[in-house]
Amino acid sequence: MKHNKQFMVNLLLGFASLLLFSKCTPSENNHSPDISFSISFSESQSTESLDGRVLLLLAKNDKEEPRFQISDGPKSQLIFGIDVDGLKPGEKAIVDANVFGYPINSLKEIPAGDYFVQAVFNKYETFNLSTGHSVKLPPDKGEGQKWNIKPGNLFSTPQKISFDPGKSQTFEIELNNEIPPIEPPKDTKYIKHIKIKSEMLSKFWGRDMYLGAHILLPEGFDEHPEAKYPLAIMHGHFPSDFGGFRTTPPDPDLKPEFSARFGLEGYNKIVQQEEYNFYKQWTGPDFPRVIAIEIQHPTPYYDDSYAVNSANMGPYGDALTYELIPYIEEKFRGLGEGWSRFVYGGSTGGWEALAVQVFYPDEYNGCIAACPDPIDFQAYTVVNIYEDKNAYYLDSDFKRTKRPGHRDSLGHISSTLEDSNHRELAMGTKGRSGDQWDIWQAVYSPMGEDGYPKPIWDKLTGEIDHEVADYWKENYDLTYIMQRDWETLGPKLKGKLNIYCGDMDNYYLNNAVYITEKFLESTTNPYYEGEVDYGDRAEHCWNGDHKHPNAISRLRYHQMFIPKFVDRIMKTAPAGADLTSWKY
């Protein structure tokens, strides 16, 4: 009986608590606050309707404009984006709580406080492809496919606001500025710049498309008109000019800057000194006389095409190999044959160097691939796209463990794969972010029915499409392709393959190199006769230099690799080859 009374007391107390909780909880009919940003442009910015991506940016600080503070790392500020088609002058583009953002998914989740807010309009244009598809994409405007500095894009002056997700608020933003054109670099005695229309690419894209290059001429070029030169081709991200070459000593008034990446004070002065050192070496009596080039091949998807043919971007591999390079060799007296060409690069450039050597084995006489982007898709950074189910989380019945995206030399994680992909998703749908994961997809994927790249995985959830993965394997998995075709490829690649990577690469790119090395070391008929090497605790982008820190060796690609290339030429050139006119 005593127990029954206590039971009734507990029951009544529980019921009273439930009533109290119900009164304190908003009912389903209560309306959550309306939060939105209304973004527009006036006729003074454009009298025409515009297509593109409207980006809203919020930052807790004003150290830089918000458009320059979006990243994968922990210091990233906020970005939200919506697609607009035919937005008229004065018409409002509304970013509200339903719009996806990064690193916070919704406006309603942003903590209350003061923020610096800015908007950017990344303009799209319509491309009528030779496949019959019409797609809307951001054309490159000479900036290397970067939405926050792209000439012609509209942006607003940053303003400070007080934001409270618990209140209904609407903020008006006018896109009152336009990013100005970029001044092209000027020719100098040693560095020349060229740009040509590509007939191959123009046919694919349905409009005039161009390729460019920065050419570093050898010392004595004008004094030796009879000389014809080997060609050293450095692949990599969009270069605004030929990098790492300076004809004057470091600026004595240059204010030292700290490099957070390398932990070095005055790294900008170190860079200038290395650039000047290279100039002195290049023009000195002992450096090989070759032509060195850096290529410009931005696409509507990225700052770089990855130098291969693809379903979504057309025949960039053929255009570079059979249009641009022969043009350069004819104009600047190159030897013009495969035995006299060499490719090298790091990261993106590392993948490209290996890829063009594999896909065009007779056109190049060696490659050096430093810290290459994933060269085996069993290790697509930390994802096996053939076996894993999800790119963002480890396969598990119950546990949600995120896959890492970026680490330092001690293994400390600063971002995940989901972070990187969600940032890109906020920047652009249909693979139009202009960033890393989207360009890999644009290069490797088949074209979807809508004319855009078919996703390798769901950008929001990370669920992998294994049919797309199979297409990647057959067409762009470099290790698999070499293994599949070694009987015919092997004799053409013998002695030409050199791969270097740090064993603590920030993006886990060494994982794929291990798989590639295992295959290469197993080769017979012939043995590959190249080199694969690793830097102990070296981060991205180690290039084979065991004597100097990464901060220095990354500035010495030309000095390190061109002499090696010339040594190979002297050993492998065919009978009757010109090995003398350029040896002065």
Question: Tens digit of pLDDT per residue, the chain (584 long)?
Answer: 444 444 333 433 333 333 323 233 333 345 578 999 999 999 999 999 999 999 999 999 999 999 999 999 999 999 999 999 999 999 999 999 999 999 999 999 999 999 999 999 999 999 999 999 999 999 999 999 999 999 999 999 999 999 999 999 999 999 999 999 999 999 999 999 999 999 999 999 999 999 999 999 999 999 999 999 999 999 999 999 999 999 999 999 999 999 988 999 999 999 999 999 999 999 999 999 999 999 999 999 999 999 999 999 999 999 999 999 999 999 999 999 999 999 999 999 999 999 999 999 999 999 999 999 999 999 999 999 999 999 999 999 999 999 999 999 999 999 999 999 999 999 999 999 999 999 999 999 999 999 999 999 999 999 999 999 999 999 999 999 999 999 999 999 999 999 999 999 999 999 999 999 999 999 999 999 999 999 999 999 999 999 999 999 999 999 999 999 999 999 999 999 999 999 99
**Measured between alpha carbons, how far is 142 from 122 in angstroms, rounded to an integer?**
15
Q: Which fold has domain 191-376+477-572?
A: Rossmann fold (3.40.50)
Asked if 183 contacts 151 with a C-beta cutoff of 8 angstroms, the reply is no
> What does pTM read for this prediction?
0.93
State the pLDDT at residue 20.
Answer: 28
Structure tokens at 332: 């600047």
Determine the topology of domain 35-178 in CATH. Immunoglobulin-like (2.60.40)
* C-alpha closest to that of 418 among 438, 400, 429, 404: 404
Name the maximum alpha-carbon separation found in the chain.
Answer: 115
Distances (CA, A) of 249 to 271, 277, 551: 11, 9, 20
Contacts for 552 with CB less than 8 Å, ≥ 6 apart: 270, 274, 545
- Report the pLDDT value the prediction gives residue 15, as an integer from 0 to 100: 35
* Per-domain boundaries in the chain: 35-178, 191-376+477-572, 379-473
Q: 564, 575 in Cβ contact below 8 A?
A: no
Closest CA to 110 of 147, 175, 162, 73: 162
Distance CA 32, CA 26 (A): 10
Angstrom distance (rounded) from CA 561 to CA 343: 9
Counting Cβ atoms within 10 Å, is residue 162 exposed (0-12), middle (13-18) or buried (19+)? Answer: exposed
